Amino acid sequence: MNKALASLEPQISCTEVIEIIQEHLPALYFTFGRRRTETLADELSRQWDFLNMEEKKQVRQLICQAEEKNPGLFYLRRENLRRFLYQGIGYHHAGLSPALKDLVERLYESRLIYVLFCTETFAVGVNFPAASTVFDSCRKWDGRVFRNLHNREFFQMAGRSGRRGYDETGQVFVCLDQRFPEQTAFYEEDKMEPVQGRLMITPNTVLNLLHWKNGAEIKTFLEKNLATYQNNKEMRHIKQEIFKLEAELVKQEGVFCAVRRTPACQLERLKLRQELNYLSRRKNRHSLMAKERKKEIFSLLKIERQKCNDKKCRQNEKKIKKINEKISFFNRQANYLSKNSREYEQEFAQVLELLQRLGFIKGRELLPRGLFALNIHVQEILVTELIFSGLLLEVPSAEAAAILAGIDYQPGRDERVVKGNIPLKQMTTLKNHLLNYGVPEHFCLWSPLPGPLACAWYEGASFAALLQLSNLQEGDIFSLLRREIDLLRQIERAAGNDPVVTQFAQNLRYKLDRDEVAITGL
Amino acid sequence: MALKSGSSVIVAAPTGTGKTLIAEKLVADVLTKEKGVIYTSPIKALSNQKYRDFGALFGRDKVGLITGDLSINEGALVLVMTTEIFRNWCFTQPGELQDVSHVVFDEMHYLDDLARGTVWEESVIFAPLHLKLLGLSATIPNIYEIAAWIKEVRHDEVKVIIEKKRAVPLKTNWINQQGNILTAAEAQAEIKAQQEERKERYREGKKNE
């Protein structure tokens, strides 16, 4: 390629990559962004067609079978994928409907896809090995920042390379980005990140602990969890280090002679001279105190200096300084760790206090709200309040469906849904009320955004109609409604023998669990 | 072997090195003793797959599946479930686990997952103490630390098995903009050169100002 032309694009095109690695197909081509999988598939499809007539026939057969089961399989948005599949090219990301993902996986397994552009999720599930993997980039958005992939993430994906019995080695190709060369990451399998404890104290955990476990068991949970265990281990290590350093300190101190820190010692004399210098500076010169101190120093320096080789002493002095620096560094770390080691107990106490204030518990005993929340595993405080305040059963069922859809929902940056005519005002009031009551934000996560979708689905709209209502992708709408169905099951279980609530939750669930959103048998 | 002698085991190995085989052997072994075994995995798709695989190996009637979506044959000896469900059982239905002798944690390195790791941890801490664990994990450097921790919370000796070699070895290459395939060292050299070039361009630009 012409070099001048090449420099316009910071990175090699996927078409060229495939040309270079065509000996190593099928390839999984990892990108970090759903749109990007589609863009690249489109780009490649303009130059490559991997399938012969016989293979195309097989593709048609598999597609027809899938479409029979799921009539709207490709909808309008995925017609591009159908075209790619006939050329042996595919894309796969969390925005696709499960049925379509399933079809792509089937085609891949049947060796009818030669290049599959996919996101990280493809490597998390079932193992689909390939001859090679390609990394369009090694940077991903992790929900907070763009960062390089960790070793473990990289090898989770790269490890898909190499089919047993087919390939001698699994080839991995990382594309360099000329714009940000310093961001290129290098990975080594023996530099995997260590596993760290990630315990979280949620209201549900606290309630379960109070209800099912005794004091000793709760103590084990708080004091012997992995993070605390690792913390304590680190603490022991630091204490050992400090102990060693202190011993070293004593040893170094022993090197000095008896005149140390008296004016007879050359080290002390140097210090005094320095001070003298400082006191003679213009801004200090005229102060009375400086004058007196100077006098004092002059008289001290009149004492005769001990004749000795002070070089060794000076080196020692430096060593001691360094050791002291190290000790204070470890002490700071120890302080930090000891603060952390009590973190879980404090958090537990905080949640306990909150639950008490909200009337979920009294002492160690669970009140009706607490017993209910025992069975709720998402936003348990918010959900329980929705039921116990009567709000969820008072509003029209369609609105209830809309409210529940928004629980624990964190909208993506550019997600848009056409606003419906459901008010959702009462829910906003309840949420604000809880916030004012001191419930932390992350215990009442709720968004009005997906409401209209759940409402329309409840009222019998088609899945295609939902797609018209929003820019959310099929996979997102599917999991949004599945989560709501799961939550309704939890509510049913939590309500136990309260016929009104169970009936309500069941009715809602039956209306939502249908057609594209239903789970078909295995 | 260690499993047969009745201790808990964690295996750290790359994909495709026979972790699955270890789990299958364990299930077969437990079944001959007419005990129950629970297999947990982090993703519904993996649970479904495991359910199908086990069904084909041991007979459909012997295997059940419980996820947030589906519940099939809940009374079976071999139960495949999501780790979340297992964690809930440890609290609410420890009685159901009485006749179960082993629990398998697939992808045990999920312990480190920011959002969901707590589920694995609560499961390890609160799984009834008569249960032996089989943890299957990707390669992790502090596997012995994890084993020591489990020993401390469960008072249970944990054997560690490490496999570093992949069934098919990997070869990582870098592709630059001109389409050359580079080794790591070459890629690093090229990156350095590019950085130098950029600095040079910057200096030139300054001069021309």
* Angle, helix B117-126 to helix B83-92, in steps of 10 degrees: 40
CATH number at residue B102: 3.40.50.300
Q: Looking at residue B2, what is its pLDDT? A: 54
In B, which residues are within 8 Å of A196 by CB distance? 112
- Same domain? For B101 and B202 the reply is no
- Cis omega before residue A26 (within 30°)? yes
* Inter-chain residue contact A164 with B121, CB threshold 8 Å: no
Reported in sequence order, the residue ranges of chain B that DSSP labels E, i.e. its strands, are 8-12, 36-41, 63-66, 71-72, 78-82, 100-105, 132-137, 158-162, 170-175, 181-182
Q: Which of B84, B72, B14, B4 is nearest to A190 (CA)?
A: B14
The DSSP H or E segment spanning A90 is strand A89-92
Find all residues with CB under 8 Å of A39, minimum gap 6, and list them: none
Residue B15 has a pLDDT of 79
Domain boundaries, chain A: 3-191, 258-307, 375-517
Strands (E), A322-378: 361-362, 365-366
Task: Answer yes or no: is B52 within a domain.
Answer: yes
> In sequence order, what are the residues at sequence separation of 6 or more whose Cβ sits closer than 8 angstroms to the Cβ of residue A389?
A430
- Longest CA–CA span in chain B (Å) reads 84
Alpha-carbon gap, residue B97 to A299, rounded angstroms: 86
In a domain, B169, yes or no: no
Based on the fold, state whether residues B55 and B79 are members of the same structural domain: yes
> Which residues of B fall within a CB distance of 8 Å from A194?
140-142, 145
Q: Which tens digits make up the pLDDT trace of B42-55? A: 988 899 999 999 99
Residue A220 Cα, gap to closest chain B Cα (Å): 7
Residue range(s) defining the domain that contains residue B199: 174-208
Residue B167 in any domain: the answer is no
pTM of the predicted structure, to 2 decimals: 0.86
Of B125, B126, B175, the CB nearest to A175: B175
Q: Are residues B14 and B78 in the same domain?
A: yes
Residues B125 and B25 reside in one and the same domain: yes
Search chain B and give the residue with CA nearest A196. B112
CB-CB neighbors (< 8 A) of A160 in chain B:
15
Residue B192 pLDDT exceeds 70: yes
Asked if B100 and B37 count as a contact pair (C-beta separation under 8 A), the reply is yes
Whether B198 is in a domain gets the answer yes
Nearest alpha-carbon partner for A114 in A169, A47, A64 = A47
Q: Same structural domain for residues B190 and B142?
A: no
In contact, B105 and B133? CB cutoff 8 Å = yes
- Say yes or no for a CB contact (<8 Å) between B170 and A9: no
Question: pLDDT value at position A8?
Answer: 56
**B115 shares a domain with B188:** no
Write the pLDDT tens digit of every residue in B125-168.
Answer: 999 999 999 999 988 999 999 999 999 999 999 999 998 888 89
Q: How far is A176 from chain B (nearest CA, A)?
A: 5
Residue of B nearest to A17 (CA): B179
Residues B191 and B151 in one domain: no
To the nearest whole Å, the CA of B195 is away from the closest chain A CA by: 7
Which pLDDT belongs to residue A12?
83
What is the interface pTM, i.e. ipTM, of the complex? 0.90
Low-confidence residues of chain A: pLDDT under 70? 1-9, 521-522
Rounded CA-CA distance B187/A177 in Å is 11
Do B48 and B106 sit in the same domain of this protein?
yes
What is the dotted CATH code of the domain comprising A375-517?
Answer: 1.10.3380.30
- Residue pair A114/A139 in contact (Cβ under 8 Å)? The answer is no
At position B2, the amino acid (one-letter code) is A
The answer as to whether B46 is a domain residue is yes
Name which of A391, A357, A390, A385 is nearest A373 in CA terms: A385
In whole numbers, what is the pLDDT of chain B averaged over residues?
Answer: 89
Q: Does residue B5 register a pLDDT over 70? A: no
- Chain B residues close to A158, C-beta within 8 Å: 170, 172
- For residue B149, tell me if it sits in a domain: yes
* Residue B26 within any structural domain of the chain: yes
Does A176 contact B176 at a Cβ distance shorter than 8 Å? yes
Whether B3 maps to a domain, the answer reads: no
Instruction: Calculate what percentage of chain A has a pLDDT beyond 90.
Output: 58
Alpha carbon distance A154, A414 (integer Å): 27
Mutation pick from A177, A204, A226, A374 vs chain B, by most beta carbons of B within 10 Å, is A226
Shared domain for B153 and B180, answered yes or no, is: no
Please give the average per-residue pLDDT across B78-101, as a whole number.
93
Scan for tokens 């994909």, then name that residue: B15
pLDDT at residue B83, as a whole number: 95
CATH superfamily of domain region A3-191: P-loop containing nucleotide triphosphate hydrolases (3.40.50.300)
Number of domains in chain B: 2
